[in-house]
Amino acid sequence: MSLRERLSGALKESMKAREATRTSTLRLINAAIRDRDIAARGEGKGDEGVSEAEILALLGKLVKQRQESARIYEEAGRLELAERERAEVEVIETFLPRQLSEAEVSAAIEAEIAALGASSIRDMGRVMAALKAQYTGQMDFAAAGAVLKARFA
């Protein structure tokens, strides 16, 4: 079952169960995917829409946005809004693959460095591209970039 099918099935189930937060979050996800599909058609990528990897990247972006919003709401003393953002993060994360631990991220980085024969900071782009192709939605690439920089330094 594709991710799109899982999302639409979950939306139908949440509507039947009258789960307001889950339903609104799933509608938000579907709207974001439709926006990306429309943008992809505008770029001439055809009518099939965005790929699973792009959907996973979009979900990761939505999670980061919600986490940042929750942090800002907490700083402003708006705890009820921060809780709502965290609830949306929980819903979105159910569709993301399991996040790799720090040890697994380091092992993946070392494996890609060895596979590509990377030896300097100039090879960082190739290593990051390979990691993004293989681990989309499973690791924080900003943190992986910092680990990679430290490795080459």
DSSP state of 123: G
Tokens 């899982």 label which residue? Answer: 6
pLDDT band at 104 (very low <50, low <70, confident <90, very high): confident
- Quote the pLDDT of residue 123: 84
Based on the domain organization, do 9 and 53 belong to the same domain? yes
Mean pLDDT of the 85-96 span: 92
Based on the domain organization, do 58 and 133 belong to the same domain? no
> What is the number of structural domains in the chain?
2
Based on the domain organization, do 70 and 31 belong to the same domain? yes
Q: How far is CA 145 from the centre of its chain?
A: 16
CATH number of the structural domain spanning residue 12? 1.10.1510.10
Q: Are 30 and 4 in contact (CB under 8 A)?
A: no
How many Å apart are CA 22 and CA 89, to the nearest integer? 10
Least confident of 24-33, 68-77, 81-90, 133-142: 133-142
| Final residue in a domain of this structure, among 75, 93, 111 | 93
- Quote the pLDDT of residue 46: 64
- Model confidence pLDDT, tens digit, residues 106-127: 888 888 888 888 888 888 888 8
Q: What's the mean pLDDT when you consider all of the chain?
A: 88
Based on the domain organization, do 66 and 38 belong to the same domain? yes
Helices (H), 43-78: 52-75
- Model confidence pLDDT, tens digit, residues 14-29: 999 999 999 999 999 9
Based on the domain organization, do 109 and 146 belong to the same domain? yes
- Quote the pLDDT of residue 75: 94
| Final residue in a domain of this structure, among 93, 111, 127 | 93
CA atoms within 13 A on the CB side of 40: 15
How many Å apart are CA 69 and CA 79, to the nearest integer? 11
How many Å apart are CA 24 and CA 11, to the nearest integer? 9
Based on the domain organization, do 21 and 70 belong to the same domain? yes
Based on the domain organization, do 81 and 121 belong to the same domain? no
Based on the domain organization, do 10 and 76 belong to the same domain? yes
- Model confidence pLDDT, tens digit, residues 45-77: 666 778 888 888 899 889 989 999 999 999 999
| Final residue in a domain of this structure, among 68, 93, 118 | 93
Based on the domain organization, do 28 and 81 belong to the same domain? yes
The residue range of the domain holding 137 is 102-152
CATH number of the structural domain spanning residue 120? 1.10.10
Residue bearing the bigger pLDDT, 73 or 3: 73
- Quote the pLDDT of residue 47: 66
Based on the domain organization, do 15 and 54 belong to the same domain? yes
Query: Considering the chain, what percentage of its residues have pLDDT values greater than 90?
Result: 39
